[in-house]
Amino acid sequence: MNNAPETITFFERLLPLVVSGEKVITIRDESESHYIPGSIIKVYALETGKYYTDIEILSVETITYDDISAYHAEQEAMALDILKKLIREIYPTEQNLFVIHYRLVEAS
């Protein structure tokens, strides 16, 4: 049986970046790392549960907090210091994280 998640949530303030295609990765902890490359996932707002779009998972890679770089910040469409601060707010003590690469699925 496939236990891969079929949905993902983002903070509402980040959703315009997701929907525009500017934000192409998300960094999550182990509990939110079980996405399968090639799967199509529904995107919802964390705060409201509102549906926004679909994305295709391209890859899931491990990373440590210290290895988060300007490259990741660019893919997140934010400055590196802001990204690292945001990650620390969400995951205050987590060192091992996961970079989930995705792309927007064009509406047919």
> Does residue 76 carry a catalytic annotation?
yes
- Of these residues, 12, 22, 26, 64, which one is catalytic? 26
Query: Is residue 23 annotated as part of the catalytic site, yes or no?
Result: yes
Look up 9 and say whether it is catalytic: no
* Alpha carbon separation from 60 to 67, 72, 76, 81 (Å, rounded): 15, 13, 15, 23
Give me the catalytic one of 12, 23, 74, 89: 23
Residue whose C-alpha is closest to residue 99's, from 8, 53, 39, 33: 33
Radius of gyration of the chain (CA): 13
| Residue of 61, 76, 89, 106 marked active site | 76
Residues 85 and 5: their CA atoms lie apart, in Å, by 26
Active-site amino acid positions? 23, 26, 76
